[in-house]
Amino acid sequence: MKAGVCGHPSCCSSSASKPLSLPPFLRRRQPPPTSRRRWPLLVVSQGEKIEIRVCVNRSCNRMGSREILGTISDISPPEVTVKSCGCLGRCGAGPNLVVLPSGTMVGHCGTTARAAEVLAQICGGKRGGSEGGFDPWKNMEALTLRKKAEAELLERGNPADAEALLSQAVDLKPSGGLHLIYKSRSVARLTQGNIGGALEDTNEALKIDPTFAQAYICQGDAFVAMGEWTKAENAYSEALLIDPSIRRSKSFKERVTKLQEKIAAVHNSN
């Protein structure tokens, strides 16, 4: 009777071959996978105007919410309004944002990749989307090129290199932020004396977003370079109507003063 402690070979051999089976209420359930966080489903009706508000209050600000605000603003299509806001009441779970008009709260939006995912959900986009579809990752690639171009122009003084990078970004045909790219290329072209190209880019930017005040300012700059004082004045006035806050801008004040001096000189000569 060596088979087992109980002295019954059949009993011990069967228990050795069969795994112990616990009743259902004692079985340990496997925890859900934690590698991917479950995000709220963002459902947006076709044609619905969307507004994204990003909390920039102290707690979320420390977590990088201002960078997220900038990224979402840079890669969103013009029909999506992006604004900063105060505390959304979920401190510690940020950076937080809310999507209106649905009121859907999104927390832990702390990376640019996550910001792109949020936009993909809102706009119905996906990686490698069809032509004309919303592809936030392509928008991110175009944004990277634009940032490099602006560094070339502003920090290194290389408008030709900046224009080349911006042309690459335009060729990507991003579904969000294209009007910003055209505006930046307009500045690079005007710096090189390509007035016609600069004016063309401002017109393209305004086709995409007719309420883009900065494009009107660039358009006014191009008209000033052409000596079209009345057209320049109209462009600056349009920018001011869209965004009255630019009245306080030092650079805008300098533009208006320069234009007024040019107009006064023309009147005096006549």
* Lookup: tokens for 137: 């990752």
Average pLDDT across the chain, whole number: 83
Return d(Cα 211, Cα 25) in angstroms, integer.
62
Please report whether residue 1 resides in a domain.
Answer: no
pLDDT tens-place string over residues 220-249? 999 999 999 999 999 999 999 999 999 999
CATH number reported for the structural domain that contains residue 191 in this entry: 1.25.40
Final residue in a domain of this structure, among 96, 123, 150: 123
Give the dihedral of Cα atoms 43, 49, 55, 56; nearest 10 deg: 150
Q: Please enumerate in sequence order all residues whose Cβ is within 8 A of that of 197, keeping only pairs 6 or more positions apart, or say none.
A: 186, 189
Among the listed residues 235, 166, 222, the one whose alpha carbon sits nearest the alpha carbon of residue 193: 222
In this structure, are 58 and 115 located in the same domain?
Answer: yes
Domains: count for the chain: 3
Longest Cα–Cα distance in the chain: 127
By mean pLDDT, which of 30-34, 96-100, 260-264 is the weakest?
30-34
In this structure, are 161 and 220 located in the same domain?
Answer: no
pLDDT tens-place string over residues 138-167? 899 999 999 999 999 999 999 999 999 999
Please give the residue range of the domain that contains residue 257.
211-270
CATH number reported for the structural domain that contains residue 103 in this entry: 3.40.30.10
